[in-house]
Structure 1
């Protein structure tokens, strides 16, 4: 089982080397590693070229944003499974992709969802973002599994399409809604903590971001003809606290 890992980057010189090495150090060697660079102007390309032997395919050209770049990577991918590794993230350990391959070989499922750990720049872990209690129904109240923990069969993109470009930070939510709710793909919780993610990404940067993603969640659900309560989505932080207390 071949796994395609896609890293999208732009001016990522401060972090991209750790990301590349994280893939290269995986015990599973049946991995296709694809980097899609958005025509960086810093030393990102120098670092990519330095480690070119560790990368299966890479391109550097202008794009229409993060999700356009992801779509380019998906079109280049030839693996059975596709996973996303952001350019400032690393795999949680050296055996992650071996564990993912074993999981999918034992479980006939379209997708697996897992966990990620979130850490500060000093390495201190501040949160384990788990999918253990997630289900597709929770998309209707504003909750999705951590995007980097999901591994999709390549055939899903061929059948149901790629990331929609009409979103700023919510195209992953729309795609997950389209796959899991609208088309009812098969999935299973893997229990694998796939990724160590640096806190402070585009979708986790304050109240303005919360407002934007709230609008984009509602847009994603509407596009896929999913009924939902706008009030529950706006108050999803409260629902999260209530769910935590119940557990």
Structure 2
């Protein structure tokens, strides 16, 4: 089983080495690492080039945003399983891809897998600020404001081929729309790995400011409508409320 790990990047010099190293240090032997850069000017390009042929595919050109970059990576991917890791995130340890593979091997009908995630201090990546315990998926989970953390979301390549990749009309919540479409609308078979596999720095685009939080929530409503689904208003309020306990939970 081969993994394609895709990292979109733009002017990411301050964090990107930790991201790249976390992928290259995986003990899984079959990894296609694809980096899609948006024509960075801060040294990111030179950083990636310094890794030489350890990077399977590298593209640096102007794009139309992070989800456009992800789509470019998906189009280039040849692996059986595709995962996306942003340029300020990193895998929790060297065994992540092996454990993800073991779940897909144990259940050949599995089409996607997600896990737990922790948010870390942007300046001190060893300090956990928030713990996202995903929990098992239920049929009404999205209606109750739930969704899996996208950086932990691994998908079989044929699922993207069948149902499409990211809808770039969504500027902040295209990852939410994708998971809603695949899991809730099309009912792909999804599994849960109950452990932290990704560490994510606080300050992502969707929660960088109050305006972005509101924009993301509005896009979440549009995501339901774009998929011809009736939006559950209880989920609108439940979605942000679900985040509160994450600041008090301990990673296991």
Q: TM-score when scaled to structure 1?
A: 0.93
Mean CA deviation greater in 18-27 or 137-146? 137-146
**Preserved contact between residue 99 and residue 192 of structure 1 (Cα < 8 Å):** no
Mean CA deviation greater in 11-20 or 137-146? 137-146
In 2: Cα distance, 1:134 partner to 1:242 partner: 18
For the pair 1:132 / 2:140, whether they are aligned, the reply is: no
In 2: Cα distance, 1:42 partner to 1:168 partner: 23
Q: Helix, strand or coil: the match of 1:39? A: coil
In 2: Cα distance, 1:243 partner to 1:10 partner: 28
In 1: Cα distance, 2:144 partner to 2:179 partner: 14
**Preserved contact between residue 136 and residue 180 of structure 1 (Cα < 8 Å):** no
Mean CA deviation greater in 113-122 or 62-71? 113-122
> Structure 2 residue aligned with 1:220, among 214, 218, 223?
223
| Partner residue in 2 for 1:196 | 199
Q: Helix, strand or coil: the match of 2:172? A: coil
Q: Helix, strand or coil: the match of 1:166? A: coil
Displacement, 1:5?
Answer: 0.2
For the pair 1:54 / 2:57, whether they are aligned, the reply is: no
Unaligned stretches of 5+ residues in structure 1: none
Deviations 1:110-156 (A, max 9, x none): 00110111110212111221211443523224331100111100001
Distance verdict in 2 for CA 1:170–1:163, change over 3 Å = same
In 1: Cα distance, 2:172 partner to 2:139 partner: 19
**Preserved contact between residue 130 and residue 247 of structure 2 (Cα < 8 Å):** no
Displacement, 1:225?
Answer: 1.6
Q: Helix, strand or coil: the match of 2:140? A: helix
In 2: Cα distance, 1:239 partner to 1:186 partner: 24
Q: Helix, strand or coil: the match of 2:119? A: strand
Displacement, 1:35?
Answer: 0.2
Matches within 5 A, 1:161-176: 161-176=164-179
Deviations 1:85-105 (A, max 9, x none): 110111100111111111111
Q: Helix, strand or coil: the match of 2:49? A: helix
| Partner residue in 1 for 2:181 | 178
Distance verdict in 2 for CA 1:35–1:193, change over 3 Å = same
Deviations 1:25-67 (A, max 9, x none): 1111211000000011110011001012211111001101100
| Partner residue in 2 for 1:149 | 152
| Partner residue in 2 for 1:211 | 214
Give the RMSD, CA atoms, in angstroms: 2.0
| Partner residue in 2 for 1:39 | 39
Displacement, 1:235?
Answer: 5.1
**Preserved contact between residue 96 and residue 192 of structure 1 (Cα < 8 Å):** no
Unaligned stretches of 5+ residues in structure 2: none
**Preserved contact between residue 181 and residue 227 of structure 2 (Cα < 8 Å):** yes
Deviations 1:225-245 (A, max 9, x none): 222233540453346669999
| Partner residue in 1 for 2:99 | 99
**Preserved contact between residue 36 and residue 72 of structure 1 (Cα < 8 Å):** yes
In 1: Cα distance, 2:43 partner to 2:211 partner: 31
